[in-house]
Amino acid sequence: MGKRITLIFLFVITFLVLSSVDVKTKAIQNLSEVDRKLMVLNKPAIKSIKSEDGDIIDCVDIYKQPAFDHPALRNHIIQMKPNNSFPFDTTISVKNESSLQVLSQTWHKSGSCPKGTIFPFVELAAYLFTKGYGFVGARGVINVWNPRVDSPDEYTTAQIWIKNGPNDGFESIEAGWMVNPKLFSDSQPRLYIRWTMDAYQKTGCINLICSGFVQINPRYELGAPIQPTSQERGKQYEVQIQIYQLPETRKWWLVYGEDKVIGYWPYEIFNHLQRKARIVQWGGDVNSKNIKGVKPHTTTAMGSGNYAYGLWGSACYIDRLRIVDYNLLTKYPIWVRSNAEEPNCYTALNYQKSLAIEPVFYFGGPGGGLFCP
């Protein structure tokens, strides 16, 4: 079972008394189990598209997607768009540097899925962390890199993560990009989602491998490569991810970019996350057996592979951090804190260039080497 190195940035509502943060290793569903589930996932395709990057996209009837194998969703009626508009941003963010949003997906050049279909595609974090009485969403702009992965059984991510429930049985929803050679058969950063109901003890599903997430948009493939990627001291590319819940339906919506709704997690599949989240995290993760005292330490990189103090153009960042309150207003959190489990291997830095500019969270590192045991 692999272990995760986690850097955490905490956002805490001022009335909450916060004790020291105990960042625990998540029990990760092993890859042999993922392989087994992919073997069983046999949904008939209405159309198949071979992308120029080698991916094959199977377009599946929207009502035959894996979500509806979940017992709580047997009579579920798909909602094709949110009832309300997106959460309103009450703040104005001035970007520190110029960067470019990545929204295109290569497979679009080779065709498109017919109306009424989706694709069941294969497919975890230096964190920014928020705790409080309750949130109904989070947003962040994630810098995209193509970090090195030491072996096929390891992976590295950059993501947003929302959570509720006890430490030993929390429920969570995650979204961002991941480099996972075992799962995706290459070393490209790919769009991914993940959710669990029991702190990854028995549940922990990536993309559409198991039932639960309902995809409604046939243009954005979960597991698709994200291109182009950032270059050191060169152009920086980023993706905006938003997860939020509308009170009337309690669905957790996933939005890519400014307004590209990919789908939702129905509230029925959760217990603690049915009405709110108590924790929001942003950041990066490395999954490996060779961490936390195991030598030699993995050289799987986090973020860009550079330490956080390299800042823009060197380190990976997450910008324009927002939480969503019960009025669907988004705002920068009041209280902040950063944390790194192995600071000689991976670092975290909440950097504010000036009082007129919001802080940007930088994270990452090379893993094993001169300074990392």
Residue-wise pLDDT for 151-173, tens only, equals: 988 999 999 999 999 988 999 99
Residue 122 has pLDDT above 50, yes or no: no
Cα–Cα distance for residue pair 100/95, rounded to 1 Å: 11
The whole-model pTM stands at: 0.77
Per-residue pLDDT tens for 34-63?
Answer: 444 444 455 566 677 767 666 666 676 766
- Backbone φ and ψ for 233, nearest 5 degrees, come out as 60, 20
Is residue 73 within 8 Å of residue 211, measured between CB atoms?
yes
Q: Where are the domains of the chain?
A: 3-353
pLDDT at 69: 66
Between residues 9 and 102, which one has the greater pLDDT? 102
Judged by DSSP in three states, 78 sits in coil
- Six-digit token string for 287: 């999954």
pLDDT band at 72 (very low <50, low <70, confident <90, very high): low
Q: Is the pLDDT of residue 190 over 50?
A: yes
- CA dist., res. 302 & res. 366, Å (int): 6
In contact, 27 and 198? CB cutoff 8 Å:
no
Is residue 196 over pLDDT 80? yes
**CB of 182 closer than 8 Å to CB of 155:** yes
Among 48, 52, 71, residue whose Cα is nearest residue 117: 48
- Number of helices (H) and strands (E), helices first, in the chain? 2, 22
At 20 the pLDDT is 24
Q: How confident is the model at residue 282 (pLDDT cuts 50, 70, 90)?
A: very high
Scanning the structure block, which residue is given the tokens 């597991």?
223
112, burial (CB in 10 Å: exposed 0-12, middle 13-18, buried 19+): middle
Contact present, 281 and 131 (Cβ < 8 Å): no
Of all residues in the chain, the percent with pLDDT exceeding 90 is: 39
Q: Which has more pLDDT, 122 or 316? A: 316
For 242-245, which contacts have Cβ atoms below 8 Å and span 24 or more sequence positions? 242/86, 242/87, 242/137, 242/138, 242/139, 243/137, 243/138, 243/139, 243/160, 243/162, 243/173, 243/175, 244/86, 244/87, 244/136, 244/137, 244/138, 244/139, 244/324, 244/328, 245/136, 245/137, 245/275, 245/276
pLDDT for position 335: 81
**pLDDT above 90: residue 4:** no
Amino acid making up residue 371:
F
Q: What is residue 309's three-state secondary structure?
A: helix
pLDDT at residue number 334? 83
- Distance, in Å, from the CA atom of 21 to the CA atom of 341, rounded to the nearest integer, reads 11
Percent of the chain's residues with pLDDT above 70: 69
The pLDDT tens digits of the residues spanning 297-325 come to 999 999 999 999 999 999 999 999 999 98
Residue 169, token pair as written in the block: 């049985």
How many angstroms separate the first and last alpha carbons of the chain? 21
For 211-230, write each residue's pLDDT tens digit.
Answer: 788 888 877 778 889 999 99
| Residue appearing with tokens 């001035």 | 94
**Residue 210 and residue 194 in contact, taking contact as beta carbons nearer than 8 Å:** no
